[in-house]
Structure 1
Amino acid sequence: MSSEPTQRHFRAIFLSDIHLGTRGCQADMLLDFLKYHDAETIYLVGDIVDGWRLRRMWYWPQSHNDVVQKLMRKGRKGARIVYTPGNHDEFLRDFLGTHFGGIEVMEETIHETADGRRYLVIHGDRFDVVVRHARWLAFLGDWAYVTALNLNTGLNIMRRRLGLTYWSLSAWAKLKVKNAVNFIGKFEETLAGEAERQGVDGVICGHIHHAADHTEFGTHYINTGDWVESCTAVAEHHDGTFEIIRWAERAEQVPALATGEPRRAQAAA
């Protein structure tokens, strides 16, 4: 495999759960991804900026600003950019139907693929009963999640020193704890049901930080994953097929990306 990733162009790219404004955000990894990937349309499927965290403590390093500038630059070069807010950036729901620097803000939208299929694009938090009906529990869960990410950071520093690859403690726990697995399954089933109710062919969402692409519940369900743990995106090829891009795995194969050495220069690309 070449040490340099190839430039790729898609019909659409879907990104969610970047969580700019938090220490867990893998902004440098995302800048690498954006350097090598372009699309006619870029969907920002919620929780791009973490308003919950920023209200409690301001954290905005240059790399987070670089991500915003990189996305806006792609818009100026001709890409259509659509932003569907989530629960962490719910403040943008006060501006639905408006444009910010060429970025369209919508509660939800319909994406039509190259082969004519229609997909509901929505963050998905409206279908999370904890977020809707027990916000205090959602905030507590957010604190526990950040704590797990902090432990994960220290663990992976040691793993790198031992020559081992990246491993996500929080993602592992999410798939091992029975209640978490049940929640993921229920969330997927509910979103697939909403797509069926709206008479579309599938749904593309975020929110639960678990990338997926299946038809287990009778409707095509796609989740973009996140840029905190797994560094994943979903892309539509020009023939209408979808792909989950697992950029963290690619970075492990490219030493320059894994160490982060060229990223500051890449931000201006």
Structure 2
Amino acid sequence: MNPIHVRTIWISDLHLGNNDCKAHYLLNFLHRHQADTIVLVGDIVDFYSMKFSRHWPESHSQVLSLLIDRAHQGTRVIYIPGNHDDVVRKYLKFDFGKIEVRAHHVHETEQGKKILAVHGDEFDNAVCHSRLIAIAGDVGYDFLLFLNRWTSRIRQKLGFPYWSLASYIKLRVQSANVAISRFENAAVQYAQRKNADAIVCGHIHHPDMKTISDTLYLNDGDWIENCTALMEQDDGALDLIRWTEHPELLATFNAKALKAPCDEKTQEDQAA
């Protein structure tokens, strides 16, 4: 089957080297899509997790090899390091095997709209009140991923498709929703200061597409919980998709329009 051609792909939070990385879904997604540009929006290799656990199956190497091959075959690949691969930030403005390492990237859509991509850990101060709260959140999230891992294994043995228990629980915790809202507003304010029409982030593992204060907020999600990616089609339309056994379109945006395709509540329900 020939791959589907798109102008641009944004993916983040692959967390290669982490036991919860869904590399098999990611590989299938990458094999099924060919892009002129791929923007890696941080936390590609999880150096933080690898300090505590050595986990690197063949599928993780295959993901890196495929991305490098795409770069050598003519795809422009931009790598924006995140907080879990911040060691790569030492090499900003360097090119590794034709992969460009940048602190951020401004993409121009088919319609000339400017989309700013940053990982999103830049906005942590707007989300957390203290380091203690951040640590407590990390511990709670690790437990959620533990539950998610075993739920997925049980569902797989029973023949059910992938479903994220972690996302289901997280979206029903009030403090998590408050933190997500603060993050989104901080990202949009940053985009407005940079005169961008839209901003793409990762970091919080919450895929979404919505208009906030006349700025398009985009989060391409992750490959730990949600298995999601953001794509720009050849006509400039933006699609947020989930790619598992049964790929689904979560949201779409007509880049020619000035407002989001549906109201924020509908977008949040779709992304959940």
Q: TM-score range by the shorter chain?
A: 0.7 to 0.9
> How many angstroms does 1:140 deviate by?
4.5
TM normalised by structure 1 equals: 0.86
Aligned to 2:118: 122
> How many angstroms does 1:155 deviate by?
1.5
2:149 matches 1:153: yes
Counting only pairs closer than 5 Å after superposition, residues 1-269 of structure 1 correspond to structure 2 as 7-129=3-125, 134=130, 137-248=133-244, 250=246
Pick closer, same or farther for the CA change 1:131–1:55 going to 2, 3 Å.
Answer: farther
Query: What CA deviation, in whole Å up to 9, does each residue of 1:185-220 have, x standing for no partner?
Result: 111111011111111101011111111111033210
Query: Could you say what secondary structure the match of 2:17 adopts?
Result: coil
The CA distance in 2 between the partners of 1:51 and 1:137, in whole Å, is: 22
The CA distance in 1 between the partners of 2:125 and 2:68, in whole Å, is: 33
The CA distance in 1 between the partners of 2:47 and 2:230, in whole Å, is: 24
Aligned identity (percent) is 44
> How many angstroms does 1:144 deviate by?
2.9
RMSD value, Cα: 2.0
Query: Could you say what secondary structure the match of 1:189 adopts?
Result: helix
The CA distance in 1 between the partners of 2:56 and 2:131, in whole Å, is: 25
The one-letter amino acid paired with 1:21 is G
What runs of 5+ residues in structure 1 fail to find an aligned partner?
Answer: 253-269
Query: Could you say what secondary structure the match of 1:56 adopts?
Result: coil
What runs of 5+ residues in structure 2 fail to find an aligned partner?
Answer: 249-272
The one-letter amino acid paired with 2:117 is V
Aligned to 2:257: none
Query: Could you say what secondary structure the match of 2:195 adopts?
Result: coil
> How many angstroms does 1:131 deviate by?
8.5
Aligned to 1:261: none
Query: What CA deviation, in whole Å up to 9, does each residue of 1:46-98 have, x standing for no partner?
Result: 00111111122222111111100010011111000001111111111111000
TM normalised by structure 2 equals: 0.85
The CA distance in 2 between the partners of 1:135 and 1:208, in whole Å, is: 17
The one-letter amino acid paired with 2:206 is H
Query: Could you say what secondary structure the match of 2:171 adopts?
Result: helix
Query: Could you say what secondary structure the match of 1:148 adopts?
Result: helix
The one-letter amino acid paired with 1:188 is E
> In proportion to residue count, which structure has more helix?
1
